[in-house]
C-alpha cells in the first residue's frame, strides 16, 4: 500500500484522505479471498464507503466530548455492514475476514504514516471491529437459524407429503381434493385411474373438474353440484357409482367435506370413496334373504295364529271335556265342556286339585294311575270313573289322561280328556237290570213251561200204545201218526226249555259238569245213529268216520249235547245234502268235526254266532233261539277244550271241537280214513 506523504494530523484525516486507496486495497483482498479467478465485482464496494465514513466519524467523535457514543457509532456502522454483507449471501467467515482486512489496512496505513492512535480512538476503532464481528455473528446465526428452520420445515413438509402420497397411492380408496376454484390439488393413483376409466380424462394437478368433464355435461353438472355442497361446508356421504350412476355396477361410498388449513382458511374440498360393491351386494342379498325370511316368518306366524285359533276353537268347542292339569294336580285350563261336566266355574276350579273333585271311591285308583304315568310306566290311560260335581252329584266319565313332556323329556303337564258317560252307564245299568230280569224270567218260565211237558209226554206215550193196539182201524193208524208228530213236537219243546234252563244256569255260573271216562268215537256213533231218522227226513245222508278210541274225562250228557247241537244245526242249515261227521284223536286232543254243505255263514257273523241269542239267519226261514252254539261253547270250554268254525256263504260250514284226552296218546293218529 502506498499513501501520499502529505502531512496529516489525525488518523481519521488520513483515512479520509486515503479513502480510495484503502477501498481499492480492500476490494482487491476481499475479491481475492472470495473468488480468486473471477473478475472483480463492483457491487462488493457498494456500501464500503458508507462503512468507512461511519468509521471515520466514529473516530472523530472519539476525541470529542461525545466520545462515549463514538464506539457505539462505530459498532453500529460495523453491524450494519455485517448485516448487509450477510444478507448479500456472504458467509460469516468472509465478513470476519473483511473486517480483518480493513483493520489491517488501517493499522498498516497509520504505521506507515507514523501516526499514533489516541487511546480513545484505538478503543473506538477496536470496539468497532469487535462489536461489528460479534453482532454480525449474532445476526448471521439468527439468520442462519431461521434459514435452517425454514429448510427443515420445508424438508419435513416434503417428507410428509411424500409419505402421504405413498399412503394414498397404496390405499384402494379414492382420494381427491379440489381447491375453491374446482381445481385438483390432490388425488391418489387409484383416483386418477378410476377417473380416467369412468370419464375418459386423465387428470393432473391444477386441472379443473369442469374442464375434465367438459365432454360429459350431465356428469359435470352432477359432480360440480356435489363438490359445491362440500365447498359450502356441508359434510355428507353419498353411495353411488363413481361414474355414471345409471350405467355402472361398481358402487362407492363417497364422503365429501370441506378442506381447511390450521388457521381455518378454506383451502377447498375433498372426497374419499370406499368401494362398497361387495358389501352392497352382500347387503342386497341379505336384504333379499331378510325379506324372504320375513315373508316366511309372517306366513309361519299366520299359520301359527290360525292353528292356535283352531286349537283354541277345538279346545273350547270340543264336545269332550279337555283340561290341562299341572304336575301338582291343579287345574290349569279347562274348556267349557269340562266346566259343565264338573258343574263349576274356572276360577273355582283353579283353587282345587284333581283329587278334590274325584269321587271318594275312585280317588285311589286315579292317583295311582297318575303316578304310573309320571313314572313312565304308562304312556297314557283311559279309565271310567266318577267326579263329584259341585252340587254333590256324581258324574260318570270316561277319562283319558296323557302326560306332556318338555324338550328334555321332563314331565310338563297332564292333558285330561273326559267324556260324560253317565247316560251310557245309566243305560248299561238299566240293560243289565233288564238282562237280569230276562234271565230270571226265562229261568222261571222254562221251569214252569217244562212242568206240563212231562205229563203231556206221558199221555202221548199212552195214546201211542192205545193206537198201536188198534192198528187195524184206520182211525187208530192215523192217530198213531199224529201222536208221533206230537211226540216229536213235545220233545222239541222240551229241548228248547232245556236250552233256556242251561242258559240261565250258565249265566248264573251254575253249569256243573260230571266228568267220567267217555270215548268220543262211541258217543259220536250213538248220537249220529239217533239223528239218522231226522236227517233222513231232511234229505241228509250222515257220513260218519270214526277213529279207534278217543278217551277223555268229560260229562257224557253234556258231550252228547255238544254233538247233538252241531248235528241238528248241520241238518237244519244243510238240508238236502250230505253231512260229514268225524271223531278222532289229533296229538293229545280228541277232535270232532261236523261238516255240512249247506247255506254257510257270512264272515262278519262268524265271531258272534257263539254268543247268547246271536243268529246269522232270518227267523222267517229258520226257527231257533240262537242258544245252541252258545251252550256248546260253554260246555266245550268248561271241559278244557275249544270250538272253531270255518265257513263261507253258500259253501257249507265246518265246526271243529277239540277236547283234551285223558292221557297223552303216543301214536300219531287213530283216525279212521
- Give me the least distance between CB of 314 and ligand ADP, in Å please: 45
> Which of 276, 615, 656, 660 is close enough to bind ligand ADP by CB under 6 A?
615
- Give me the least distance between CB of 605 and ligand ADP, in Å please: 7
Instruction: Name the residue among 510, 523, 332, 529 with its Cα closest to residue 416.
Output: 332
Distances (CA, A) of 539 to 41, 300, 535, 536, 620: 173, 76, 6, 5, 21
Q: Which is nearer to ligand ADP, 269 or 616 (CB)?
A: 616
- Give me the least distance between CB of 606 and ligand ADP, in Å please: 9
Instruction: Name the residue among 181, 182, 185 with its Cα closest to residue 205.
Output: 185
Q: Please state, in angstroms and rounded to a whole number, the distance separating the CA atoms of residues 593 and 646.
A: 11
- Give me the least distance between CB of 609 and ligand ADP, in Å please: 4
363 Cβ contact list (under 8 Å, min separation 6): 355
Q: Report DSSP state, residue 173.
A: S
By CB under 6 A, the residues from 641 to 670 that bind ligand ADP are: 653
By CB under 6 A, the residues from 582 to 611 that bind ligand ADP are: 596, 598-601, 609
Q: Candidates 238-246, 317-325, 510-518, 623-631 — which segment interacts with ligand ADP by CB under 6 A?
A: 623-631
- Give me the least distance between CB of 528 and ligand ADP, in Å please: 15
587 Cβ contact list (under 8 Å, min separation 6): 665
Q: Please state, in angstroms and rounded to a whole number, the distance separating the CA atoms of residues 450 and 470.
A: 31
- Give me the least distance between CB of 648 and ligand ADP, in Å please: 11
Q: Please state, in angstroms and rounded to a whole number, the distance separating the CA atoms of residues 626 and 496.
A: 10
- Give me the least distance between CB of 489 and ligand ADP, in Å please: 16
* Beta strands at 174-179 and 184-187: parallel, antiparallel or unpaired: antiparallel
Q: Candidates 3-11, 318-326, 376-384, 615-623 — which segment interacts with ligand ADP by CB under 6 A?
A: 615-623
- What's the distance, CA 58 to chain centroid? 105
* Beta strands at 579-586 and 542-546: parallel, antiparallel or unpaired: parallel
265 Cβ contact list (under 8 Å, min separation 6): none
User: By Cβ distance, which residue is nearest to ligand ADP?
Assistant: 624
> Which of 506, 629, 659, 671 is close enough to bind ligand ADP by CB under 6 A?
629
Asked if 616 interacts with ligand ADP (CB under 6 A), we say yes
- Give me the least distance between CB of 330 and ligand ADP, in Å please: 54
- Give me the least distance between CB of 550 and ligand ADP, in Å please: 22
Q: Candidates 166-174, 224-232, 270-278, 616-624 — which segment interacts with ligand ADP by CB under 6 A?
A: 616-624
Q: Name the one residue in this structure whose C-alpha cell is 230280569.
A: 437
Q: Please state, in angstroms and rounded to a whole number, the distance separating the CA atoms of residues 45 and 101.
A: 14
Q: Which is nearer to ligand ADP, 16 or 629 (CB)?
A: 629
Q: Which is nearer to ligand ADP, 272 or 599 (CB)?
A: 599
Q: Which is nearer to ligand ADP, 238 or 625 (CB)?
A: 625
By CB under 6 A, the residues from 541 to 570 that bind ligand ADP are: 569-570
Q: How many residues does the chain have?
A: 673
Q: Please state, in angstroms and rounded to a whole number, the distance separating the CA atoms of residues 262 and 485.
A: 144
Q: Report DSSP state, residue 64.
A: S
- Give me the least distance between CB of 456 and ligand ADP, in Å please: 23
- Give me the least distance between CB of 649 and ligand ADP, in Å please: 9
Max CA distance (Å), the chain: 230
Q: Which is nearer to ligand ADP, 103 or 450 (CB)?
A: 450
Q: Which is nearer to ligand ADP, 56 or 503 (CB)?
A: 503
Q: Which is nearer to ligand ADP, 15 or 616 (CB)?
A: 616
Q: Which is nearer to ligand ADP, 67 or 647 (CB)?
A: 647
Instruction: Name the residue among 175, 179, 182, 217 with its Cα closest to residue 199.
Output: 217
Q: Which is nearer to ligand ADP, 401 or 599 (CB)?
A: 599
In angstroms and rounded to an integer, the radius of gyration of the C-alpha atoms of the chain is 71
> Which of 624, 638, 640, 642 is close enough to bind ligand ADP by CB under 6 A?
624
- Give me the least distance between CB of 447 and ligand ADP, in Å please: 20
Continuous H helices in 470-555: 474-507, 520-537
Q: Which is nearer to ligand ADP, 13 or 545 (CB)?
A: 545
Q: Is-contact 383 399, C-beta < 8 A? A: yes
The DSSP H or E segment spanning 5 is: none
> Which of 395, 628, 633, 634 is close enough to bind ligand ADP by CB under 6 A?
628
| Inter-residue long-range contacts of 47-50, CB under 8 Å, 24+ positions, other chains counted | 47/80, 47/81, 47/84, 48/23, 48/81, 49/19, 49/23, 50/77, 50/80, 50/81
- Give me the least distance between CB of 650 and ligand ADP, in Å please: 10
- Give me the least distance between CB of 579 and ligand ADP, in Å please: 9
> Which of 174, 627, 636, 659 is close enough to bind ligand ADP by CB under 6 A?
627
Other Cβ atoms closer than 10 A to 149: 10
Rounded to 5 degrees, φ, ψ at 62 are -60, -35
Total binding residues toward ligand ADP, as defined by CB under 6 A: 21
- Give me the least distance between CB of 487 and ligand ADP, in Å please: 21
Q: Is-contact 94 57, C-beta < 8 A? A: no
Q: Is-contact 520 552, C-beta < 8 A? A: yes
HSE, side-chain direction, 13 A CA sphere, residue 275: 12
Dig out the grid coordinates for 241 from the structure. 357409482
Q: Candidates 343-351, 471-479, 483-491, 624-632 — which segment interacts with ligand ADP by CB under 6 A?
A: 624-632
- Give me the least distance between CB of 622 and ligand ADP, in Å please: 6
Instruction: Name the residue among 571, 573, 572 with its Cα closest to residue 581.
Output: 571
By CB under 6 A, the residues from 107 to 146 that bind ligand ADP are: none
Q: Report DSSP state, residue 666.
A: -
Distances (CA, A) of 475 to 24, 458, 459, 482, 653: 208, 21, 18, 10, 44
- Give me the least distance between CB of 653 and ligand ADP, in Å please: 4
Dig out the grid coordinates for 319 from the structure. 264336545
Secondary structure of residue 202 in the 3-state scheme: coil
Q: Which is nearer to ligand ADP, 366 or 561 (CB)?
A: 561
Q: Which is nearer to ligand ADP, 569 or 585 (CB)?
A: 569
> Which of 57, 238, 617, 662 is close enough to bind ligand ADP by CB under 6 A?
617
CA angle 250, 254, 259 (to 5 degrees): 150
Q: Which is nearer to ligand ADP, 69 or 654 (CB)?
A: 654
Residues that bind ligand ADP (CB under 6 A): 569-570, 573-574, 596, 598-601, 609, 615-617, 624-630, 653
Amino acid at each position: 500500500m502506498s499513501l501520499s506523504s502529505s502531512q496529516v494530523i489525525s488518523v481519521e484525516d488520513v483515512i479520509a484522505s486515503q479513502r480510495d486507496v484503502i477501498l481499492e486495497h480492500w476490494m482487491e483482498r476481499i475479491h481475492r479471498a472470495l473468488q480468486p479467478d473471477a473478475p472483480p465485482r463492483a457491487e462488493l464496494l457498494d456500501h464500503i464507503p458508507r462503512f468507512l465514513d461511519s468509521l471515520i466519524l466514529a473516530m472523530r467523535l472519539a476525541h470529542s466530548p461525545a466520545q462515549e457514543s463514538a464506539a457505539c457509532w462505530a459498532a453500529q456502522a460495523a453491524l450494519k455492514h455485517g448485516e448487509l454483507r450477510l444478507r448479500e449471501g456472504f458467509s460469516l467467515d468472509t465478513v470476519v475476514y473483511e473486517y480483518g482486512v480493513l483493520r489491517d489496512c488501517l493499522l498498516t496505513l497509520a504505521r506507515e504514516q507514523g501516526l499514533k492512535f489516541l487511546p480513545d480512538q484505538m478503543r473506538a476503532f477496536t470496539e468497532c471491529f469487535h462489536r461489528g464481528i460479534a453482532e454480525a455473528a449474532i445476526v448471521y446465526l439468527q439468520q442462519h437459524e431461521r434459514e435452517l428452520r425454514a429448510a427443515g420445515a420445508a424438508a419435513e413438509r416434503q417428507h410428509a407429503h411424500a409419505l402421504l402420497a405413498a399412503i394414498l397411492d397404496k390405499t384402494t380408496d379414492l382420494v381427491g381434493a379440489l381447491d375453491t376454484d374446482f381445481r385438483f390439488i390432490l388425488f391418489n393413483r387409484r383416483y386418477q385411474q378410476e377417473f380416467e376409466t369412468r370419464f375418459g380424462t386423465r387428470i393432473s394437478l391444477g386441472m379443473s373438474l369442469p374442464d375434465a368433464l367438459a365432454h360429459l355435461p350431465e356428469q359435470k353438472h352432477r359432480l360440480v353440484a356435489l363438490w359445491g355442497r362440500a365447498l359450502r361446508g356441508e359434510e355428507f356421504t353419498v353411495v353411488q357409482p363413481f361414474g355414471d350412476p345409471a350405467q355402472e355396477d361398481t358402487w362407492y361410498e363417497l364422503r365429501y367435506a370441506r378442506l381447511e388449513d390450521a388457521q381455518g382458511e378454506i383451502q377447498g374440498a375433498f372426497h374419499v370413496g370406499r368401494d362398497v360393491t361387495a358389501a352392497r351386494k352382500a347387503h342386497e342379498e341379505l336384504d333379499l334373504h331378510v325379506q324372504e325370511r320375513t315373508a316366511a316368518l309372517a306366513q309361519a306366524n299366520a299359520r301359527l295364529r290360525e292353528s292356535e285359533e283352531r286349537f283354541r276353537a277345538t279346545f273350547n268347542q270340543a264336545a269332550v271335556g279337555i283340561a290341562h292339569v299341572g304336575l301338582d294336580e291343579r287345574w290349569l285350563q279347562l274348556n267349557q265342556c269340562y266346566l259343565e261336566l264338573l258343574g263349576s266355574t274356572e276360577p273355582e276350579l283353579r283353587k282345587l286339585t284333581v283329587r278334590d273333585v274325584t269321587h271318594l271311591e275312585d280317588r285311589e285308583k286315579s292317583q295311582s294311575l297318575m303316578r304310573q304315568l309320571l313314572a313312565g310306566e304308562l304312556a297314557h290311560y283311559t279309565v271310567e270313573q266318577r267326579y263329584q260335581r259341585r252340587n254333590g252329584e256324581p258324574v260318570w266319565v270316561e277319562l283319558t289322561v296323557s302326560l306332556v313332556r318338555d324338550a328334555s323329556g321332563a314331565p310338563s303337564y297332564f292333558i285330561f280328556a273326559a267324556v260324560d258317560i253317565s247316560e251310557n252307564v245309566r243305560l248299561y245299568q238299566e240293560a243289565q237290570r233288564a238282562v237280569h230280569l230276562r234271565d230270571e224270567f226265562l229261568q222261571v218260565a222254562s221251569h214252569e213251561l217244562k212242568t206240563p211237558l212231562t205229563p203231556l209226554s206221558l199221555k202221548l206215550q199212552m195214546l201211542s200204545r192205545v193206537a198201536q193196539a188198534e192198528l187195524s182201524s184206520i182211525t187208530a193208524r192215523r192217530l198213531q201218526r199224529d201222536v208221533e208228530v206230537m211226540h216229536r213236537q213235545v220233545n222239541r219243546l222240551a229241548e228248547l226249555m232245556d236250552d233256556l234252563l242251561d242258559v240261565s244256569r250258565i249265566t248264573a255260573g251254575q253249569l256243573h259238569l260230571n266228568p267220567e271216562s267217555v270215548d268220543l268215537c262211541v258217543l259220536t256213533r250213538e248220537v249220529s245213529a239217533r239223528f239218522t231218522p231226522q236227517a233222513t227226513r231232511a234229505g241228509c245222508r250222515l257220513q260218519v268216520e270214526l277213529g279207534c278210541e278217543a278217551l277223555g274225562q268229560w260229562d257224557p250228557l253234556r258231550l252228547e249235547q255238544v254233538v247233538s247241537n252241531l248235528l241238528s244245526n248241520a241238518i237244519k242249515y244243510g238240508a238236502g245234502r250230505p253231512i260229514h261227521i268225524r271223531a278222532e284223536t289229533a296229538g293229545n286232543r280228541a277232535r270232532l268235526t261236523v261238516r255240512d254243505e249247506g247255506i254257510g255263514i257270512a264272515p262278519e257273523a262268524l265271531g258272534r254266532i257263539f254268543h247268547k241269542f246271536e243268529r246269522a239267519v232270518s227267523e222267517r226261514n229258520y226257527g231257533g233261539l240262537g242258544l245252541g252254539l252258545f251252550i256248546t261253547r260253554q260246555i266245550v270250554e268248561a271241559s278244557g277244550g275249544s270250538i272253531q268254525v270255518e265257513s263261507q256263504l253258500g259253501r257249507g260250514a265246518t265246526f271243529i271241537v277239540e277236547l283234551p284226552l285223558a292221557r297223552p296218546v303216543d301214536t300219531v293218529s287213530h283216525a279212521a280214513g
